[in-house]
Chain A
């Protein structure tokens, strides 16, 4: 079974609009962490934002926020005021357990295209 599901293969958004990228996850652990990474066409993975399973507040980092709905097991990324440079692949990832070197499980990704 997929541990991380990103149901939007591609999204097209007008510049300056807000965009929500969906991510649902599956785990039986109580302790876990959720990450979003951006991958531009150059290939490097850029960390955007993190949400821990015990964090009561939604994480925010500049224009990025994570809409964490624990009961629904969703961790959607919201990008406000989108820019042309936001065009990239976006990956949601989960780590189960909080200690030590635990592996990240990645979703299939969403390709976001910002139109001028």
Chain B
């Protein structure tokens, strides 16, 4: 089946630990995105990547890092520098072109204990 997978679905982290969220897609889409959603809020862009080995900061990149070594994968690392990491994280992909909607994965809910 074509789609976007995110793992794990739920993640618990102790303060001071780095943690990596996985996002994999088999849609052959060029662009990939990471968003953060806080309770009762809209989505805010963390990082995005248009092609392999290239990525750009979004609006709230501080405390996060990404890599794009393969077209299919765009992992997000939440570092200890992120002061308030508890949130719902959504990965999205988009086919290149003048108009395309973004397709979203099922999300990872991160809780810092």
Contacts and interface: CB of A to CB of B under 8 A. Distances in A.
Contacts of B59: 103
A93 B44 CA distance: 11
A52 B90 CA distance: 24
A84 interface: no
Interface string A38-58: 000011111100101000000
Interface in A98-112: 98-101, 103-109
Contacts of B99: 33, 50, 52, 98
A35 interface: yes
A101 B42 contact: no
A42 B94 CA distance: 22
Given A35-B101, A101-B30, A101-B31, A107 B107 contact: no
Given A101-B94, A103-B33, A44 B48 contact: no
A44 B96 contact: no
Contacts of A37: 104
Interface residues of A, number: 25
A107 B30 CA distance: 25
B17 interface: no
B96 A104 contact: no
Contacts of A101: 30-31, 33, 48-50, 94, 96
Contacts of B49: 101
Interface in A47-106: 47, 50, 52, 91, 93, 98-101, 103-106
29 contacts: A35-B101, A42-B106, A43-B90, A43-B106, A44-B105, A44-B107, A45-B90, A45-B92, A45-B104, A47-B101, A47-B103, A91-B42, A91-B43, A93-B42, A93-B43, A98-B99, A101-B30, A101-B50, A103-B45, A103-B48, A104-B43, A104-B102, A106-B42, A106-B43, A106-B44, A108-B40, A108-B41, A109-B40, A109-B42
